[in-house]
């Protein structure tokens, strides 16, 4: 008997897109099963079907051998299926324990929540699974890896025997990923079945028992881990051999284009998020900012792009102070911005790809004349860009919300990387992007640097930071704790500073 089976599943979305074509997968009980494939291959659609969020057009789902009808996540949870989404579904202002028991609170009497009992139950689970959570801390104060464990425990306490994770390591550092994998291996030991989507193939090799490869909505095959090398997986994913070919040549950076001096920022509740941040970024260089999520990088980027007010200090773009300037004023100074949050601020999901691609070119006569939007020109431009960035969609008229996560990200990247900018602020640029496209994006960032542009790269992916940055700053609790030239550095070395184990007191001014 299998934990979960998809038998000839086909999913046609209302707009006619066939996201899954006769997909059949059998997931063994207590195994860790990875689902891989290029952006748009149909992975998320299949997981949404497994969790009752989408109904298949045809085909059958079996859970522990029984044919089931999954009409909503509620049905899936009742059948012992749990899902950890990429965007956590936690209430930030609630404590860990409040989040875990939300909706299933044990009670004493009719109205009082029995927190003692809840703590006992949750502690038992943590002991059994060998991981700890700070039950009384507010979720908003926790690092991302801990939040993810809260989500896992939340699913387990609702009796999940099958746990689906959507790109679980995409926001984690290598240390956090290692901890996550220990948790997942432990779950499998207790007979829990783990299914996860990922684009990180080295991790697939590290942890998966079984690997299913999808391409263009179909299953290419399901394999034992030891049957495939990493390059075999890529070959099966894209249908041809793939060679890594990033080359970074040494370059002498030019003049300072962005300068930040003594930047301080306090959250509304008085907590200091940024402490005396000073650095500069020159033309023709990539400055990488490494750090665990939640150490001030997000706030820094929002202040630099005019999305967050009330910071103190100085920010100069090409010598002009832009602190508290509006986003449009900063954009006008040729600053492009690839935001981390692609749906909330990265794009207009209801508008088409073409409309999104030209939305940062409002002053351009090419796409806008007086008050008229020049549809044809935007369409032709978008066709070219879609080819260049291998964006998978029916046409430039397709609404953004119809695209797969990775393809949405590619549209945003394409929009910002093709506009006439001198400074590019790129936050998690390859988050959710498949192997070949990630390589393409990194090459393009390097090309921009070679063309004399200044790139600020904020990434939790240390391999990415090490691969293309010229210099690296490390953020820890709102401070810059280290500044490296990117020469002979290792992930481990940066990791010490990211975790606050080491701190460097050398003044960073003038170190540009």
- Cβ of residue 132: shortest distance to ligand ATP, in angstroms? 32
What are 357's two structure tokens?
């691609």
If the CB atoms of residues 198 and 481 are measured against ligand ATP, the closer one turns out to be: 198
Q: Give the residue at shortest CB distance from ligand ATP.
A: 406
| From 1, 13, 116, 341, residue interacting with ligand ATP (rule: CB under 6 A) | 13
- Cβ of residue 41: shortest distance to ligand ATP, in angstroms? 4
| From 2, 7, 10, 17, residue interacting with ligand ATP (rule: CB under 6 A) | 17
Question: How do 81-84 and 272-282 pair as beta strands?
Answer: unpaired
- Asked if 171 interacts with ligand ATP (CB under 6 A), we say no
Other CB atoms within a 10 A radius of the CB of residue 127 amount to 10
- Asked if 43 interacts with ligand ATP (CB under 6 A), we say yes
Residue labelled with tokens 């499998």 = 188
| From 9, 19, 183, 304, residue interacting with ligand ATP (rule: CB under 6 A) | 19
- Asked if 488 interacts with ligand ATP (CB under 6 A), we say no
Span of 9-17, 148-156, 355-363, 413-421 interacting with ligand ATP by CB under 6 A: 9-17
Measured CA to CA, the distance from residue 427 to residue 328 in angstroms comes to: 18
Other CB atoms within a 10 A radius of the CB of residue 13 amount to 12
DSSP annotation string for 399-467: BGGGS-HHHHHHHHHHHHHSS--SEEEEESTTTT--HHHHHHHHHHHHHHHHTT-EEEEE-S-HHHHHH
Residue 24 near residue 56, CB atoms below 8 Å: no
Residue 393 near residue 400, CB atoms below 8 Å: no
* Residues 6 or more apart in contact with residue 447 via CB below 8 angstroms: none
Helices 435-450, 405-417: crossing angle, 10 deg rounding: 10
- Asked if 438 interacts with ligand ATP (CB under 6 A), we say no
What are 396's two structure tokens?
């430039």
- Cβ of residue 15: shortest distance to ligand ATP, in angstroms? 5
Question: How do 312-317 and 320-321 pair as beta strands?
Answer: antiparallel
- Cβ of residue 5: shortest distance to ligand ATP, in angstroms? 19
- Asked if 41 interacts with ligand ATP (CB under 6 A), we say yes
If the CB atoms of residues 307 and 351 are measured against ligand ATP, the closer one turns out to be: 351
Number of residues that bind ligand ATP (CB under 6 A): 21
Residue 491 near residue 463, CB atoms below 8 Å: yes
If the CB atoms of residues 161 and 342 are measured against ligand ATP, the closer one turns out to be: 342
- Cβ of residue 412: shortest distance to ligand ATP, in angstroms? 13
Span of 37-45, 80-88, 91-99, 223-231 interacting with ligand ATP by CB under 6 A: 37-45
Angle at 365 between CA 401 and CA 348, to 5 degrees: 15
| From 5, 42, 148, 494, residue interacting with ligand ATP (rule: CB under 6 A) | 42
* Residues 6 or more apart in contact with residue 356 via CB below 8 angstroms: 347, 348, 400, 411, 412, 415
Residues 380-419 touching ligand ATP, rule: CB under 6 A, are 392-393, 402-407
| From 27, 40, 294, 438, residue interacting with ligand ATP (rule: CB under 6 A) | 40
- Asked if 37 interacts with ligand ATP (CB under 6 A), we say yes
Other CB atoms within a 10 A radius of the CB of residue 349 amount to 15
54-81 per-residue burial string, b: 16 or more CB within 10 A, e: under 16? bebeebebbbbeeebebeeeeebbebbb
- Asked if 45 interacts with ligand ATP (CB under 6 A), we say yes
If the CB atoms of residues 288 and 432 are measured against ligand ATP, the closer one turns out to be: 432
- Asked if 437 interacts with ligand ATP (CB under 6 A), we say no
| From 15, 112, 226, 506, residue interacting with ligand ATP (rule: CB under 6 A) | 15
- Cβ of residue 406: shortest distance to ligand ATP, in angstroms? 3
Measured CA to CA, the distance from residue 273 to residue 317 in angstroms comes to: 22
If the CB atoms of residues 40 and 495 are measured against ligand ATP, the closer one turns out to be: 40
Other CB atoms within a 10 A radius of the CB of residue 107 amount to 11
- Asked if 350 interacts with ligand ATP (CB under 6 A), we say no
Q: How far is CA 89 from the centre of its chain?
A: 15
- Cβ of residue 435: shortest distance to ligand ATP, in angstroms? 11
Q: Can you give the binding site for ligand ATP, defined by CB under 6 A?
A: 13, 15, 17, 19, 37, 39-45, 392-393, 402-407, 432
């Amino acid at each position: 008997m299998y934990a979960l089976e998809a038998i000839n599943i086909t999913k046609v979305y209302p707009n006619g897109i066939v996201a899954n074509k006769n997909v059949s997968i059998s997931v063994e009980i207590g195994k860790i099963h990875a689902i891989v494939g290029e952006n748009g291959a149909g992975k998320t659609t299949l997981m949404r079907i497994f969790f009752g969020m989408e109904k298949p057009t045809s085909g059958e789902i079996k859970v522990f051998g029984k044919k089931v009808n999954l009409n909503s996540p509620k049905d899936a949870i009742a059948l012992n299926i749990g899902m950890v989404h990429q965007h956590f579904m936690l209430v930030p202002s609630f404590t860990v324990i409040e989040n875990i028991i939300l909706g299933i609170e044990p009670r004493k009497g009719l109205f009082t929540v029995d927190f003692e009992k809840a703590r006992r139950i949750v502690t038992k689970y943590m002991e059994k699974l060998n991981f700890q959570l700070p039950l009384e801390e507010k979720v908003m104060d926790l690092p991302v890896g801990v939040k993810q464990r809260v989500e896992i425990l939340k699913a387990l306490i609702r009796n999940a025997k099958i746990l689906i994770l959507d790109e679980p390591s995409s926001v984690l550092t290598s240390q956090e990923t290692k901890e996550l994998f220990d948790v997942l291996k432990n779950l499998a030991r207790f007979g829990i079945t783990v299914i996860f989507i990922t684009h990180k193939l080295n991790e697939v090799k590290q942890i998966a028992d079984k690997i299913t490869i999808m391409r263009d909505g179909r299953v290419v095959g399901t394999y034992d881990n030891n049957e495939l090398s990493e390059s075999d997986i890529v070959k099966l994913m894209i249908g041809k051999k793939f060679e890594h070919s990033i080359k970074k040549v040494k370059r002498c950076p030019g003049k300072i284009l962005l300068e930040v001096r003594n930047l301080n920022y306090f959250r509304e509740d008085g907590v200091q998020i940024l402490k005396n941040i000073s650095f500069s970024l020159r033309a023709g260089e990539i400055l990488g900012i490494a750090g665990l999520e939640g150490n001030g990088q997000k706030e820094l980027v929002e202040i630099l792009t005019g999305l967050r007010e009330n910071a103190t200090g100085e920010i100069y773009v090409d010598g002009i102070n832009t602190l508290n300037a509006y986003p449009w004023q900063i954009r006008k100074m040729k600053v492009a911005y690839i935001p981390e949050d692609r749906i909330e601020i990265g794009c207009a999901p209801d508008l088409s790809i073409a409309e999104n691609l030209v939305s940062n070119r409002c002053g351009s006569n090419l796409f806008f004349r007086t008050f008229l939007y020049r549809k044809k020109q935007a369409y032709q431009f978008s066709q070219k860009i879609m080819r260049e960035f291998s964006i998978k969609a029916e046409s430039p008229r397709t609404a953004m919300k119809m695209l797969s996560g990775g393809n949405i990200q590619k549209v945003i990247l394409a929009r910002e990387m093709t506009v006439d900018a001198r400074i590019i602020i790129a936050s998690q640029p390859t988050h959710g992007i498949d192997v070949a496209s990630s390589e393409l994006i990194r090459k393009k960032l390097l090309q921009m640097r070679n063309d004399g542009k200044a790139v600020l790269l904020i990434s939790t992916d240390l391999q990415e930071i090490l691969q293309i940055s010229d210099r690296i700053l490390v953020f820890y609790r709102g401070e810059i704790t280290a500044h490296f030239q990117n020469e002979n550095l290792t992930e481990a070395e940066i990791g010490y500073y990211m975790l606050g184990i080491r701190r460097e007191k050398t003044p960073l001014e003038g170190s540009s």
